[in-house]
Protein backbone atom coordinates (compact mmCIF):
# COMPACT_ATOMS: atom_id res chain seq x y z
CA UNK A 1 0.00 0.00 0.00
CA UNK A 2 1.18 3.60 -0.39
CA UNK A 3 3.32 4.42 2.63
CA UNK A 4 3.75 7.27 5.00
CA UNK A 5 5.03 10.64 3.86
CA UNK A 6 6.98 13.32 5.66
CA UNK A 7 5.48 15.26 8.52
CA UNK A 8 3.77 18.55 7.86
CA UNK A 9 5.27 21.83 8.97
CA UNK A 10 3.86 24.08 11.65
CA UNK A 11 1.47 26.93 10.84
CA UNK A 12 2.17 30.64 11.25
CA UNK A 13 0.74 32.73 14.13
CA UNK A 14 -2.31 34.90 13.61
CA UNK A 15 -1.94 38.63 13.17
CA UNK A 16 -3.16 41.23 15.64
CA UNK A 17 -5.93 43.73 14.88
CA UNK A 18 -5.03 47.26 15.94
CA UNK A 19 -7.28 49.24 18.26
CA UNK A 20 -7.77 51.99 15.67
CA UNK A 21 -9.18 49.58 13.10
CA UNK A 22 -11.49 47.75 15.48
CA UNK A 23 -14.62 50.01 15.28
CA UNK A 24 -14.65 50.02 11.47
CA UNK A 25 -14.10 46.26 11.27
CA UNK A 26 -16.87 45.61 13.78
CA UNK A 27 -19.27 47.82 11.84
CA UNK A 28 -18.51 46.04 8.58
CA UNK A 29 -18.83 42.65 10.28
CA UNK A 30 -22.22 43.58 11.70
CA UNK A 31 -23.49 44.64 8.28
CA UNK A 32 -22.19 41.44 6.69
CA UNK A 33 -23.87 39.37 9.39
CA UNK A 34 -27.20 41.03 8.70
CA UNK A 35 -26.90 40.36 4.98
CA UNK A 36 -25.84 36.72 5.44
CA UNK A 37 -28.39 35.73 8.06
CA UNK A 38 -31.33 34.73 5.79
CA UNK A 39 -29.21 32.28 3.74
CA UNK A 40 -27.84 30.66 6.88
CA UNK A 41 -31.22 30.46 8.57
CA UNK A 42 -32.96 28.71 5.67
CA UNK A 43 -30.60 26.20 4.05
CA UNK A 44 -32.03 24.48 1.00
CA UNK A 45 -32.99 20.83 1.01
CA UNK A 46 -29.91 19.70 -0.93
CA UNK A 47 -27.54 21.42 1.50
CA UNK A 48 -29.41 19.78 4.35
CA UNK A 49 -29.13 16.37 2.67
CA UNK A 50 -25.39 16.71 2.10
CA UNK A 51 -24.81 18.02 5.61
CA UNK A 52 -26.83 15.28 7.27
CA UNK A 53 -25.10 12.57 5.22
CA UNK A 54 -21.48 13.72 5.40
CA UNK A 55 -20.94 16.08 8.33
CA UNK A 56 -21.38 13.35 11.00
CA UNK A 57 -18.60 11.33 9.34
CA UNK A 58 -16.01 13.96 10.24
CA UNK A 59 -16.69 13.36 13.92
CA UNK A 60 -17.27 9.61 13.71
CA UNK A 61 -14.02 8.91 11.84
CA UNK A 62 -11.94 11.87 13.06
CA UNK A 63 -11.62 13.28 9.53
CA UNK A 64 -9.82 16.66 9.47
CA UNK A 65 -11.27 17.86 6.16
CA UNK A 66 -13.63 16.91 3.36
CA UNK A 67 -14.95 18.30 0.08
CA UNK A 68 -18.23 17.13 -1.42
CA UNK A 69 -19.35 18.19 -4.90
CA UNK A 70 -22.60 17.31 -6.61
CA UNK A 71 -24.13 17.90 -10.02
CA UNK A 72 -27.75 17.70 -11.09
CA UNK A 73 -28.93 18.69 -14.57
CA UNK A 74 -25.64 20.49 -15.22
CA UNK A 75 -25.81 22.57 -12.03
CA UNK A 76 -22.93 22.20 -9.59
CA UNK A 77 -22.90 22.56 -5.82
CA UNK A 78 -19.86 22.46 -3.53
CA UNK A 79 -19.61 21.75 0.20
CA UNK A 80 -16.35 22.12 2.11
CA UNK A 81 -15.74 20.95 5.66
CA UNK A 82 -12.84 21.22 8.08
CA UNK A 83 -9.17 21.78 7.38
CA UNK A 84 -6.69 20.76 4.70
CA UNK A 85 -3.90 20.60 7.28
CA UNK A 86 -4.15 20.42 11.06
CA UNK A 87 -0.80 22.14 11.52
CA UNK A 88 -1.76 25.35 9.73
CA UNK A 89 -5.50 25.19 10.22
CA UNK A 90 -5.95 26.09 6.54
CA UNK A 91 -9.58 25.43 5.60
CA UNK A 92 -10.66 23.12 2.81
CA UNK A 93 -11.50 25.27 -0.23
CA UNK A 94 -12.31 24.79 -3.90
CA UNK A 95 -8.54 24.80 -4.56
CA UNK A 96 -7.65 22.10 -2.05
CA UNK A 97 -5.90 19.16 -3.72
CA UNK A 98 -6.60 15.67 -2.37
CA UNK A 99 -5.08 12.31 -3.22
CA UNK A 100 -7.85 10.31 -4.93
CA UNK A 101 -6.25 6.87 -4.60
CA UNK A 102 -7.74 4.22 -6.87
CA UNK A 103 -10.20 6.62 -8.47
CA UNK A 104 -7.00 7.31 -10.47
CA UNK A 105 -7.67 4.02 -12.27
CA UNK A 106 -10.50 5.69 -14.17
CA UNK A 107 -7.96 8.10 -15.68
CA UNK A 108 -5.63 5.21 -16.56
CA UNK A 109 -8.56 3.53 -18.30
CA UNK A 110 -9.42 6.76 -20.12
CA UNK A 111 -5.83 7.11 -21.35
CA UNK A 112 -5.80 3.50 -22.58
CA UNK A 113 -9.07 3.98 -24.46
CA UNK A 114 -7.74 7.25 -25.88
CA UNK A 115 -4.59 5.48 -27.09
CA UNK A 116 -6.76 2.86 -28.76
CA UNK A 117 -8.76 5.61 -30.48
CA UNK A 118 -5.46 6.97 -31.83
CA UNK A 119 -4.47 3.51 -33.08
CA UNK A 120 -1.52 3.22 -30.70
CA UNK A 121 -2.76 0.18 -28.78
CA UNK A 122 -5.42 -2.49 -29.10
CA UNK A 123 -7.19 -3.65 -25.96
CA UNK A 124 -7.48 -7.04 -27.68
CA UNK A 125 -3.69 -7.17 -28.02
CA UNK A 126 -1.20 -8.82 -25.71
CA UNK A 127 1.50 -7.26 -23.51
CA UNK A 128 4.49 -8.41 -25.59
CA UNK A 129 3.29 -6.29 -28.52
CA UNK A 130 4.35 -3.25 -26.48
CA UNK A 131 6.86 -4.83 -24.08
CA UNK A 132 8.73 -7.57 -26.01
CA UNK A 133 10.48 -8.72 -22.84
CA UNK A 134 7.20 -10.39 -21.81
CA UNK A 135 6.98 -12.64 -24.90
CA UNK A 136 6.42 -16.26 -23.91
CA UNK A 137 5.45 -15.44 -20.33
CA UNK A 138 2.16 -16.40 -18.70
CA UNK A 139 1.11 -12.75 -18.47
CA UNK A 140 1.35 -12.52 -22.27
CA UNK A 141 -1.62 -14.88 -22.58
CA UNK A 142 -3.78 -12.12 -21.12
CA UNK A 143 -4.99 -9.20 -23.21
CA UNK A 144 -4.73 -5.54 -22.32
CA UNK A 145 -8.47 -5.71 -21.66
CA UNK A 146 -7.85 -8.46 -19.10
CA UNK A 147 -5.28 -6.23 -17.40
CA UNK A 148 -7.72 -3.32 -17.26
CA UNK A 149 -10.55 -5.44 -15.83
CA UNK A 150 -8.43 -7.44 -13.32
CA UNK A 151 -9.13 -10.70 -15.16
CA UNK A 152 -5.59 -11.66 -16.25
CA UNK A 153 -5.62 -14.79 -14.08
CA UNK A 154 -5.05 -13.74 -10.49
CA UNK A 155 -2.55 -10.89 -10.21
CA UNK A 156 -2.39 -9.78 -6.56
CA UNK A 157 -3.70 -6.59 -5.00
CA UNK A 158 -0.15 -5.25 -4.58
CA UNK A 159 3.33 -6.08 -5.77
CA UNK A 160 5.44 -7.95 -3.23
CA UNK A 161 7.38 -5.39 -1.13
CA UNK A 162 10.70 -6.31 -2.74
CA UNK A 163 9.52 -5.00 -6.14
CA UNK A 164 10.85 -1.44 -6.10
CA UNK A 165 11.99 -0.62 -9.65
CA UNK A 166 11.19 -1.31 -13.29
CA UNK A 167 13.76 -4.09 -13.67
CA UNK A 168 12.25 -5.98 -10.74
CA UNK A 169 8.76 -5.31 -12.11
CA UNK A 170 9.73 -6.82 -15.46
CA UNK A 171 11.24 -9.88 -13.79
CA UNK A 172 8.12 -10.28 -11.66
CA UNK A 173 5.83 -10.43 -14.69
CA UNK A 174 8.22 -12.75 -16.56
CA UNK A 175 8.09 -15.23 -13.66
CA UNK A 176 4.47 -14.79 -12.56
CA UNK A 177 2.32 -17.94 -12.35
CA UNK A 178 -1.45 -17.46 -12.81
CA UNK A 179 -4.13 -19.06 -10.67
CA UNK A 180 -6.54 -19.37 -13.59
CA UNK A 181 -6.88 -18.77 -17.31
CA UNK A 182 -7.52 -15.18 -18.41
CA UNK A 183 -11.16 -14.12 -18.23
CA UNK A 184 -12.21 -16.65 -15.58
CA UNK A 185 -11.87 -14.65 -12.38
CA UNK A 186 -11.67 -11.05 -11.25
CA UNK A 187 -9.04 -10.22 -8.67
CA UNK A 188 -8.71 -6.50 -8.02
CA UNK A 189 -5.08 -5.60 -8.63
CA UNK A 190 -2.83 -2.57 -8.79
CA UNK A 191 -0.15 -4.44 -10.80
CA UNK A 192 -2.83 -5.46 -13.33
CA UNK A 193 -4.19 -2.05 -14.28
CA UNK A 194 -0.76 -0.58 -13.58
CA UNK A 195 0.70 -2.73 -16.35
CA UNK A 196 -2.05 -1.52 -18.69
CA UNK A 197 -1.00 2.06 -18.01
CA UNK A 198 2.68 1.21 -18.41
CA UNK A 199 2.12 -0.55 -21.74
CA UNK A 200 0.02 2.36 -22.98
CA UNK A 201 2.82 4.79 -22.18
CA UNK A 202 5.36 2.57 -23.95
CA UNK A 203 3.13 2.42 -27.02
CA UNK A 204 2.86 6.21 -27.03
CA UNK A 205 6.62 6.67 -26.53
CA UNK A 206 6.13 8.79 -23.45
CA UNK A 207 6.04 8.81 -19.67
CA UNK A 208 2.71 7.81 -18.14
CA UNK A 209 2.43 10.81 -15.83
CA UNK A 210 3.31 13.20 -18.66
CA UNK A 211 0.65 11.67 -20.90
CA UNK A 212 -2.07 12.04 -18.29
CA UNK A 213 -1.03 15.59 -17.39
CA UNK A 214 -0.56 16.84 -20.96
CA UNK A 215 -3.13 14.80 -22.91
CA UNK A 216 -5.92 13.57 -20.64
CA UNK A 217 -6.39 16.35 -18.09
CA UNK A 218 -6.38 19.25 -20.60
CA UNK A 219 -8.78 17.50 -23.00
CA UNK A 220 -11.16 16.92 -20.09
CA UNK A 221 -10.91 20.56 -19.00
CA UNK A 222 -9.10 19.77 -15.74
CA UNK A 223 -6.67 22.49 -14.65
CA UNK A 224 -6.12 21.59 -10.99
CA UNK A 225 -5.34 17.87 -11.30
CA UNK A 226 -1.87 16.37 -11.16
CA UNK A 227 0.18 13.24 -10.78
CA UNK A 228 3.24 15.30 -9.91
CA UNK A 229 1.99 18.32 -7.96
CA UNK A 230 4.07 21.34 -9.10
CA UNK A 231 5.86 23.41 -6.50
CA UNK A 232 3.60 26.38 -7.25
CA UNK A 233 0.56 24.31 -6.19
CA UNK A 234 2.01 22.71 -3.06
CA UNK A 235 0.25 25.15 -0.75
CA UNK A 236 -3.07 23.76 -2.08
CA UNK A 237 -2.03 20.13 -1.49
CA UNK A 238 -3.76 18.84 1.63
CA UNK A 239 -2.02 16.71 4.20
CA UNK A 240 -3.53 13.29 4.72
CA UNK A 241 -3.75 11.66 8.13
CA UNK A 242 -3.12 7.98 8.74
CA UNK A 243 -4.63 5.70 11.38
CA UNK A 244 -2.25 7.19 13.97
CA UNK A 245 -3.24 10.72 12.90
CA UNK A 246 0.24 11.37 11.55
CA UNK A 247 0.38 13.75 8.55
CA UNK A 248 1.30 11.77 5.43
CA UNK A 249 1.35 11.92 1.66
CA UNK A 250 1.63 9.10 -0.83
CA UNK A 251 5.09 7.67 -1.48
CA UNK A 252 6.50 6.82 -4.91
CA UNK A 253 6.35 3.18 -5.96
CA UNK A 254 6.20 0.91 -9.00
CA UNK A 255 2.97 1.76 -10.86
CA UNK A 256 1.96 4.27 -8.18
CA UNK A 257 1.11 6.82 -10.88
CA UNK A 258 -0.92 4.33 -12.90
CA UNK A 259 -2.88 2.78 -10.01
CA UNK A 260 -3.37 5.47 -7.35
CA UNK A 261 -1.30 8.53 -8.21
CA UNK A 262 -3.73 11.32 -9.19
CA UNK A 263 -4.24 14.34 -6.95
CA UNK A 264 -7.19 16.61 -7.69
CA UNK A 265 -9.65 19.17 -6.38
CA UNK A 266 -13.39 18.69 -5.90
CA UNK A 267 -14.31 21.08 -8.77
CA UNK A 268 -11.97 19.27 -11.16
CA UNK A 269 -13.28 15.86 -10.15
CA UNK A 270 -16.84 17.07 -10.63
CA UNK A 271 -15.88 18.29 -14.12
CA UNK A 272 -14.57 14.79 -14.80
CA UNK A 273 -17.84 13.29 -13.59
CA UNK A 274 -19.79 15.72 -15.79
CA UNK A 275 -17.58 14.80 -18.76
CA UNK A 276 -18.65 11.21 -18.19
CA UNK A 277 -22.31 12.19 -17.85
CA UNK A 278 -22.31 14.32 -21.01
CA UNK A 279 -19.15 13.72 -23.09
CA UNK A 280 -20.59 15.37 -26.21
CA UNK A 281 -18.54 18.55 -25.78
CA UNK A 282 -15.18 16.77 -25.61
CA UNK A 283 -12.74 16.50 -28.55
CA UNK A 284 -13.85 13.57 -30.72
CA UNK A 285 -11.12 11.09 -29.76
CA UNK A 286 -11.45 11.86 -26.06
CA UNK A 287 -15.25 11.66 -26.29
CA UNK A 288 -15.03 8.16 -27.75
CA UNK A 289 -12.44 7.21 -25.13
CA UNK A 290 -14.70 8.30 -22.28
CA UNK A 291 -17.63 6.45 -23.81
CA UNK A 292 -15.46 3.33 -24.15
CA UNK A 293 -14.85 3.32 -20.39
CA UNK A 294 -18.61 2.88 -19.95
CA UNK A 295 -18.67 -0.51 -21.67
CA UNK A 296 -19.20 -3.44 -19.34
CA UNK A 297 -17.09 -6.59 -19.75
CA UNK A 298 -17.49 -8.95 -16.80
CA UNK A 299 -20.32 -9.56 -14.32
CA UNK A 300 -19.46 -10.10 -10.66
CA UNK A 301 -22.85 -10.64 -9.00
CA UNK A 302 -24.74 -7.32 -9.40
CA UNK A 303 -21.62 -5.37 -10.38
CA UNK A 304 -20.38 -5.09 -13.96
CA UNK A 305 -16.65 -4.45 -14.31
CA UNK A 306 -15.69 -2.01 -17.02
CA UNK A 307 -12.40 -0.23 -17.61
CA UNK A 308 -11.82 1.82 -14.47
CA UNK A 309 -15.48 2.29 -13.61
CA UNK A 310 -17.67 -0.32 -11.94
CA UNK A 311 -21.36 -0.17 -12.86
CA UNK A 312 -24.81 -1.30 -11.72
CA UNK A 313 -28.31 -1.32 -13.16
CA UNK A 314 -30.14 1.77 -11.90
CA UNK A 315 -31.95 2.26 -9.64
CA UNK A 316 -29.53 0.42 -7.36
CA UNK A 317 -30.10 -0.33 -3.70
CA UNK A 318 -27.65 0.63 -1.00
CA UNK A 319 -27.14 -3.06 -0.20
CA UNK A 320 -26.15 -3.76 -3.81
CA UNK A 321 -23.61 -0.92 -3.79
CA UNK A 322 -22.18 -2.02 -0.46
CA UNK A 323 -21.87 -5.61 -1.68
CA UNK A 324 -20.14 -4.52 -4.90
CA UNK A 325 -17.62 -2.44 -2.95
CA UNK A 326 -17.10 -4.95 -0.14
CA UNK A 327 -13.83 -6.55 0.96
CA UNK A 328 -15.05 -9.79 -0.61
CA UNK A 329 -15.01 -8.09 -4.01
CA UNK A 330 -11.90 -5.99 -3.41
CA UNK A 331 -9.67 -8.49 -1.64
CA UNK A 332 -10.62 -11.92 -2.99
CA UNK A 333 -10.82 -13.60 -6.41
CA UNK A 334 -14.37 -13.84 -7.72
CA UNK A 335 -15.69 -15.84 -10.70
CA UNK A 336 -16.91 -13.72 -13.59
CA UNK A 337 -19.34 -13.97 -16.47
CA UNK A 338 -18.36 -12.36 -19.77
CA UNK A 339 -20.77 -9.71 -21.04
CA UNK A 340 -18.78 -8.93 -24.19
CA UNK A 341 -18.14 -5.20 -23.95
CA UNK A 342 -21.63 -4.02 -24.78
CA UNK A 343 -22.89 -0.47 -24.22
CA UNK A 344 -25.01 0.02 -21.10
CA UNK A 345 -28.57 -1.25 -21.51
CA UNK A 346 -30.90 1.00 -19.57
CA UNK A 347 -29.89 3.43 -16.82
CA UNK A 348 -26.61 2.63 -15.05
CA UNK A 349 -24.82 3.92 -11.99
CA UNK A 350 -21.04 4.13 -12.34
CA UNK A 351 -18.79 4.36 -9.30
CA UNK A 352 -15.25 4.02 -7.99
CA UNK A 353 -13.71 4.17 -4.54
CA UNK A 354 -10.14 5.24 -3.82
CA UNK A 355 -7.77 5.40 -0.87
CA UNK A 356 -4.18 6.08 0.06
CA UNK A 357 -2.70 5.84 3.53
CA UNK A 358 -4.02 9.29 4.44
CA UNK A 359 -6.88 10.00 2.02
CA UNK A 360 -10.26 8.59 0.99
CA UNK A 361 -12.31 9.31 -2.14
CA UNK A 362 -15.51 8.26 -3.87
CA UNK A 363 -17.13 9.20 -7.19
CA UNK A 364 -20.48 8.08 -8.58
CA UNK A 365 -22.81 9.21 -11.35
CA UNK A 366 -25.91 8.22 -13.32
CA UNK A 367 -25.76 9.58 -16.89
CA UNK A 368 -29.45 8.97 -17.61
CA UNK A 369 -30.41 11.04 -14.58
CA UNK A 370 -27.64 13.62 -15.12
CA UNK A 371 -26.63 13.34 -11.48
CA UNK A 372 -23.25 12.76 -9.87
CA UNK A 373 -21.29 13.13 -6.66
CA UNK A 374 -17.66 13.36 -5.59
CA UNK A 375 -16.33 13.04 -2.04
CA UNK A 376 -12.69 13.76 -1.16
CA UNK A 377 -11.30 13.51 2.38
CA UNK A 378 -7.88 13.73 4.01
CA UNK A 379 -8.44 10.55 6.02
CA UNK A 380 -8.88 6.98 4.83
CA UNK A 381 -12.18 5.82 6.34
CA UNK A 382 -14.44 2.86 5.52
CA UNK A 383 -15.86 2.60 2.02
CA UNK A 384 -19.21 1.57 3.46
CA UNK A 385 -19.57 4.93 5.23
CA UNK A 386 -18.66 6.86 2.06
CA UNK A 387 -21.08 4.89 -0.08
CA UNK A 388 -23.93 5.09 2.43
CA UNK A 389 -23.62 8.87 2.62
CA UNK A 390 -23.26 9.28 -1.15
CA UNK A 391 -26.22 7.00 -1.86
CA UNK A 392 -28.44 9.12 0.38
CA UNK A 393 -27.43 12.28 -1.49
CA UNK A 394 -27.84 10.63 -4.90
CA UNK A 395 -31.39 9.68 -3.95
CA UNK A 396 -32.04 13.36 -3.23
CA UNK A 397 -30.41 14.40 -6.53
CA UNK A 398 -32.49 11.86 -8.44
CA UNK A 399 -35.65 13.40 -7.00
CA UNK A 400 -34.48 16.88 -8.04
CA UNK A 401 -33.63 15.72 -11.58
CA UNK A 402 -37.20 14.63 -12.35
Catalytically active residues, by annotation:
102, 188
Round to whole Å and give the CA distance between 379 and 239: 9
Round to whole Å and give the CA distance between 196 and 180: 19
Please, what is the end-to-end C-alpha distance for the chain in angstroms?
42
Is the Cα dihedral 383, 252, 115, 199 positive or negative? negative
Round to whole Å and give the CA distance between 161 and 388: 33
Round to whole Å and give the CA distance between 96 and 119: 36
Among candidate residues 352, 96, 353, 110, the one with its CA nearest the CA of residue 211: 110
Cross-strand partners of 349: 312
347 phi and psi angles, rounded to 5 deg? -60, 140
Round to whole Å and give the CA distance between 327 and 308: 18
Residues in the chain, total: 402
DSSP string over 332-401: S-EE-EEEEEEPP-S-EEEEEEEE-SS-EEEEEEEGGGTEEEEEEESB---HHHHHHHHHHHHHHHHHHT
- Give residues with Cβ within 8 angstroms of 286, minimum separation 6: 110, 114, 117, 216, 219, 220, 279
Amino acid sequence: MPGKGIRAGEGTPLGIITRAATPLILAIASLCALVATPAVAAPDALSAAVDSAFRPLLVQYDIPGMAVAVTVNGQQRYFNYGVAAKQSGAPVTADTIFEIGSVSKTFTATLACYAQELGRISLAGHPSAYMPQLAGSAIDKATLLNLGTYTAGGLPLQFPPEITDDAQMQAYFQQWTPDDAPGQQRRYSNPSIGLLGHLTALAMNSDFADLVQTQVFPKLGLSHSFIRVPQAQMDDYAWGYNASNEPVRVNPGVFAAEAYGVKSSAPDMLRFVEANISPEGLPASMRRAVQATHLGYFNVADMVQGLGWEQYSYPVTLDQLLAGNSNTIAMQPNPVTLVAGVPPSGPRLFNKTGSTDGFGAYAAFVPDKRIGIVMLANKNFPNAARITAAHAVLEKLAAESR
